[in-house]
Structure 1
Amino acid sequence: MVNPDAVKHETVMDTGAEQLGKTYAQALLAAAAKAGITDKIVDELNRLVDEYLANSPQLAAAFASPRIDADEKSRVIDRVFGGDFDPLLLTFLKVMAGRDRLSHVAAVRSGALELFDQMSGQVLAKVSTAVPLDDALRTQITDRLGGALGKKVRLQEVVDADLIGGMVIRVGDTVFDSSVSNRLDAIAKRAGEGFSSKLMEKFDQLTQ
């Protein structure tokens, strides 16, 4: 039976896991950049974590299990990802398997995204809302934040029902409060009536 703690630290990363993830991410992105496939590798790494591992507890448990040896994990990698992922990422995963580090794939993805943002001049904005964003509001927030920050913005969307219709935007250690929300007023005006404008109104109310 797989120890649940072995899987748990995928989502709750300690400092050691975070540093390990950054170290492996640097190696992966360096190899990807040399091959000219950085965007592709980052996309596949996202799919690995958000689709494959998130939707298959059995696969996540197999990655984390110390009872499954590296050779068997490598065979699993070939069977599951062989026809879908670039050989560079497959080789990288097998190296991680050989070093008993597959349980840290999520940490590697986090490190890779951070490095990728730095390489491409992007900034991560975490947007928490009570319900999922619609396409119009997503585009408007991205454009407005990009203009305010002078950088291309990558959104990380989180649905948090506790916000009760509100919105919180975080960029690094900065929380976009009422002083910044004033810049976003135009979004609600352009969005007109409906969900987008209501959401922006709630955000303004909660941050005043």
Structure 2
Amino acid sequence: MRGASADAYAATAGALTGAGDPATVARDLFGVADLLRAEPALRRVATDASIDGEAKAGLLRQVLSGKVSDLGLAVVTIAVAQRWTASRDLADALERLGVVAVATSAGGDAARLEDELFAFGQVVKDNPELRDALSDPARSRDDKSRLLADLLGDKVLPATVALVQQSLSGSYRTVGAALADYQKVAAEVRDQGVATVRVARPLSDGDRQRLADALSRNYGREIHLNVVVDPSVIGGIRVETGDDVIDGTVSSRLDEARRRLAG
């Protein structure tokens, strides 16, 4: 988000520090984000800069009273009182704050949450049938939700289930894209960055820690590693951190050699 929406998001985020169950607040915010996306008239009124902020807050109180928690309602009313660059930004901001609340609810399992989101994202990426089922417009969201519930069961954290289910909202191009962004938000809650590491063979615990330490020194904050074992890299390592790419794989060096020979 940029401009007024970035300021509005920052102003609203402060409300999440209030007393309340983070998991409950997350469900509230996800629900309101879905409502705003489904009701264009309500969304236009909630983001109309010509309408007094308190009037908009009062409208949302009437619509949501008794349906969401006190803290959830407080966050929403603060949000609608802000100025948003685009009407869609309000729903996107509430969804993002919901992800922050879910990550907070994970507590000491926050690192596990990040790992599980990445792992399930890889499952979706590597299984075309599952990917097609989750993107099929002919299947209802409830149907897709049941499919995910059957797949996840009680194997993962409740926070992971909540975010995987939210990835079906349609606010991202794909479920995989949603999960990747949710993991980044979860990392940011712990003031971390995220790096995707591709190697031909699993890293030992020692190598993994040394790499994490080196990246943390380089970026000035802790880095959470997503390690992907990919035999096609042959050897070496490829590290992607945001827009930065360090490619020291054997396969990349072979490709470069082939290009030079062809030239």
Which category of TM-score, normalised to the shorter sequence, fits these structures? Answer: 0.5 to 0.7
1:145 matched to 2:215? The reply is yes
TM-score normalised by structure 2 residue count: 0.45
Q: Evaluate the alpha carbon distance shift between residue 133 and residue 106 of structure 1 in structure 2; reply closer, same or farther with a 3 A threshold.
A: same
1:62 matched to 2:109? The reply is no
The count of aligned residue pairs is 159
Shift of residue 64, structure 1, vs aligned partner: 0.6
Shift of residue 170, structure 1, vs aligned partner: 4.9
SS for the counterpart of 2:174 is helix
Shift of residue 100, structure 1, vs aligned partner: 4.5
Structure 2 counterparts to residues 1-208 of structure 1, below 5 A:
24-34=95-105, 36=107, 38-51=110-123, 53-97=124-168, 99-100=169-170, 104-127=174-197, 131-132=200-201, 134-135=203-204, 136-157=206-227, 159=230, 167=237, 169-174=239-244
Shift of residue 77, structure 1, vs aligned partner: 2.4
> What is the alpha-carbon distance in structure 2 between the residues aligned to residue 133 and residue 92 of structure 1?
27
> What is the alpha-carbon distance in structure 1 between the residues aligned to residue 235 and residue 122 of structure 2?
25
Q: Evaluate the alpha carbon distance shift between residue 26 and residue 55 of structure 1 in structure 2; reply closer, same or farther with a 3 A threshold.
A: same
For 2:215, give the aligned amino acid: L
For 1:114, give the aligned amino acid: K
Q: Evaluate the alpha carbon distance shift between residue 145 and residue 91 of structure 1 in structure 2; reply closer, same or farther with a 3 A threshold.
A: closer
> What is the alpha-carbon distance in structure 2 between the residues aligned to residue 175 and residue 104 of structure 1?
23
* 8 Å CA contact 2:196, 2:227 repeated in 1: yes
Deviations 1:174-206 (A, max 9, x none): 4569xxxxxxxxxxxxxxxxxxxxx8xx9xxxx
Shift of residue 43, structure 1, vs aligned partner: 3.1
Q: Evaluate the alpha carbon distance shift between residue 22 and residue 82 of structure 1 in structure 2; reply closer, same or farther with a 3 A threshold.
A: farther
> What is the alpha-carbon distance in structure 2 between the residues aligned to residue 126 and residue 93 of structure 1?
20
Q: Evaluate the alpha carbon distance shift between residue 104 and residue 27 of structure 1 in structure 2; reply closer, same or farther with a 3 A threshold.
A: farther
SS for the counterpart of 1:121 is coil
What residue is the counterpart of 1:188 in the other structure? none
> What is the alpha-carbon distance in structure 2 between the residues aligned to residue 137 and residue 75 of structure 1?
39
For 1:44, give the aligned amino acid: E
What residue is the counterpart of 1:10 in the other structure? none
Based on CA coordinates, which of the two structures has the bigger radius of gyration? 2
* 8 Å CA contact 2:212, 2:223 repeated in 1: yes
Shift of residue 148, structure 1, vs aligned partner: 4.1
Deviations 1:54-78 (A, max 9, x none): 4432222111101111232232223
SS for the counterpart of 1:154 is strand
> What is the alpha-carbon distance in structure 2 between the residues aligned to residue 89 and residue 107 of structure 1?
15
Shift of residue 85, structure 1, vs aligned partner: 3.3
SS for the counterpart of 1:143 is helix
Shift of residue 121, structure 1, vs aligned partner: 2.9
* 8 Å CA contact 1:125, 1:171 repeated in 2: yes
> What is the alpha-carbon distance in structure 1 between the residues aligned to residue 158 and residue 235 of structure 2?
44
